[in-house]
Amino acid sequence: MAKDKTGSDRTTSDGAPISLIIKDPEKFAQNIAKMIEGMTKAANAFLKPREDGRLSADLTDEIAEIVRTLAKVIEYWTAEPGRSIQAQSKLYGQYFMLWTSTMQRMSGVQMPPVAVPDPRDRRFKDPQWTQNQFFDFVKQFYLITTRWAEEMVERADDLDPHIRLKAGFYVRQIANAVSPSNFLFTNPEILRDTLDSSADNLVRGMDMLAEDIAAGNGELIIRQSDNSHFAIGKNLALSPGKVILQNDVCQLIQYKPNTKDVLKRPLLIVPPWINKFYILDLNPEKSFVRWAVEQGHTVFVISWINPDERQSEKSFENYMREGILASLDTVQKITGETEINAIGYCVGGTLLSYTLAYMAGVGDTRIASATLFATQVDFTHAGDLKVFIDEEQIEAVEKKMSVRGYLEGKNMTASFNMLRSNDLIWSYVVNNYFRGKEPIPFDLLYWNSDATRMPAANHSFYLRNCYLDNKLAEGELTVDGKPLSLGDVTIPIYNLATRDDHIAPPRSVFYGSSFFGGPVTFVLAGSGHIAGVINPPSRGKYQYWTGRAPHGDALEDWLGHAKEQPGSWWPHWQAWIEAQDNTRVKARTPGGRKVKAIEDAPGSYVKVMA
């Protein structure tokens, strides 16, 4: 390692050495005092609402759940002495290899690393994680330890699968939290910033931390974007249209056409109520709504209400009747059409599938084709979100919802962020609060932070009947005493999964195809739950796979015979839609002559903040 004239080790942002000497001791001392003052403000913002009784300070239940779960893994490995010795020997053997490698490297011998980060892991990209022996040792020690802990969970074969799933999730969360990249003295980037700026970064960071806790009314809401640059209806959700229906659960928007003729079948889009619909109309370049209008669709989109206590008793069935079925009535009234194409996204697709089964049972044939974006109808392979689903945890959520009649949006946001905690939590902790960097304006992350609440009856039904008991796929749900069966749904279905989806895993979506009674076209898109769906052709990003009809849950077998195609799947979907019926008629104005417009798109419901 190179030395400066004083003999100090040095490291710069490009991997070259920098001085470890504090450049301005007086300023550094002043900034440390300011940082402590900022920490005090943050602590006060955290403690005051708990002292006032506005927030509970009791985390006992959550901590006890983690301890109980991990204790079962420890019990498995200590139950037999042979297992315990085997586990310890493997860990200590790797530690010894690392120590030996480090000693040899210090004596000038070039040694290959014992543990190497995943190439996609951005935490250790700074050259000093490899070039500096201290940081390299800390990094490898961390990787060896956390990978060993994860392996101990994976190899606990006799544990209940749900316990093992939870234990693996908790171990990953703990491992991500204790990463050396998250601490001042073990992260070369933070240390460099601190020394170069005489701790200006820490002052800014503590100020932001205090602001974010205060903005969350005592709970830390990590800022992911500079939200001051965005406003719904001004630079987000800009497609022109009118609200033509409004009730206690939703508004319905009809978008203005920009072609002289349009497809005869109108298009109704059912977005999730867990997030706001404008992910489909983020900006003109990324807007699926705008693109669909340009292809000649008469587009209708449901905009769900951001509920409060008045919607506490609104159930899944209410969302079907007052959301989808009421919207179908309005679409039919405006267009005069009895055949309608429908799209459902995420839980909106689950509700759409529930509705299709109901409509099939009562002989309602108005939906002629359905498209599902990243939608689960069977929850056997639902992935890491099942960590939060068991009787005890659902009871805890229901107890929480019973106080106000809804679940706060920040609870759902936190759960989703934990699925990718390195990217969506810890990277912002490091950049915001240690490096003192304001996040850049980013429309997608603004949308992600624009949380929605969950009505108690609806959310409880969804958690219990879908995630916990899987009743939709198993045909155990009823409406008006009549059983619902996805097998009765015989219309053509376009079922889109995304390859890196943590919310609706592709294997789960693929397996769900098997439950419908009609033809299913399965398509796998590159990227994840959002980017894989919102991928306009003009950007030329990612890819998608098409292949034979899906059967069972053998996604990898299907993928082995599928055809990979570059770019967006949107044109493929458009060709599929037109293959059902490409008849065109004169373009329709929002509301037509039969329905009076209520207000301009995007409407008022979407602007209500949680």
Could you check whether the bond before residue 602 is cis, i.e. omega within 30 degrees of 0?
yes
Helix (H), strand (E) at residue 51: helix 25-51
In the block, residue with structure tokens 């503590």 = 206
CA atoms lying within 13 Å on the CB side of residue 367: 28
Q: Are 259 and 294 in contact (CB under 8 A)?
A: yes
Least Cα distance to 355 among 230, 488, 169 occurs for 488
In the block, residue with structure tokens 């690392």 = 98
Helix (H), strand (E) at residue 343: strand 340-345
* 346 is an active site residue: yes
- Rounded Cα–Cα distance for residues 344 and 239 (Å): 19
CA–CA–CA angle 452, 456, 461 (5° rounding): 110
Rounded to 5 degrees, what are φ and ψ at 344? Answer: -125, 135
Q: Which of 143, 328, 346, 367 is catalytic?
A: 346
For residue 379, which amino acid is it? F
**Diameter of the chain measured on Cα atoms:** 86
- Rounded Cα–Cα distance for residues 172 and 162 (Å): 15
Least Cα distance to 137 among 173, 107, 176, 97 occurs for 97
The bridge status of strand 563-566 relative to strand 454-455 is: unpaired
CA atoms lying within 13 Å on the CB side of residue 178: 11
Helix (H), strand (E) at residue 270: strand 267-270
Lookup: tokens for 193: 């910033």
For residue 57, which amino acid is it? A
Q: Which residues belong to the active site?
A: 346
